[in-house]
Amino acid sequence: MLEYTKIYSKKYPDIALKVIPGHFVTPNSHINYYMDMTTMKTRQSEARAIAMAMSQSYMATTVIDTIICMDGTEVIGAYLADELSKAGILSMNRHKTIYVVTPEYDQAGQLIFRDNMLMMVNEKHVLLLLASMTTGKTVTRAIEGINYYGGHVSGVSTIFSAGTSVAGYEINALFNKSDIPDYISYSHDNCKMCQDGTKITAICNGFGYSEVKH
């Protein structure tokens, strides 16, 4: 296991993000810090604390019918649906409850919803939930997919985001670049760390990381 340090949220001091410095390769970029969100996404107490914090970004007038969970955020999504329901968030669903959905992807990374899942997206107000956003490509593809299936994006929430908006939508993030001022993301074909000969620490994606042995 790689060594990490903890960064505590300025607004929610009971929430801590594990940060690992190095040279990491993601599907969309090279980054100099990896955010290990394993326990945030799987430990009940942490997932609920994150959901409670995220729910503060949405007023009672926001309509949310479905939460689409990416990057393994299903546990957080379930707690978030509960928190939003308790806060009086409006739902147009017949049963007045929120769907919590994990999408399928094609080879290009586009979202797929089978016929039996369409009723949870088509003409629904959708909250997009992710663990992190770096380049914005994944979020942009997800928004395009939601629009394609007739959904309406009500908001985008992440634990960490390198940017403040994407595709015209504000990113509601618990942590951002102000928490990690020297965080940098490079494109695959123009990585300064590669140019400087810095060895790759690990390959990572939404499921975690695999350390590269040199």
Each residue of 76-129: pLDDT tens digit?
999 999 999 888 777 777 677 899 999 998 887 789 999 999 999 999 999 999
pLDDT for residue 214 is more than 90 = no
Q: What residues contact residue 30 under an 8 Å CB cut-off, 6+ apart?
A: 23, 24, 185, 186, 187, 188, 191, 193, 194
pLDDT for residue 172 is more than 80 = yes
Eight-class DSSP state of 200: P
pLDDT digits (tens, 9 = 90+) for 138-158: 899 999 999 999 999 999 999
pLDDT digits (tens, 9 = 90+) for 37-56: 999 999 999 999 999 999 99
For the chain, what percent of residues have pLDDT higher than 90? 79
Asked if 186 contacts 193 with a C-beta cutoff of 8 angstroms, the reply is: yes
- State the Rg of the chain over Cα: 17
- Please tell me the predicted confidence (pLDDT) of residue 130: 95
The span from the CA of 119 to the CA of 111, in Å, is 15
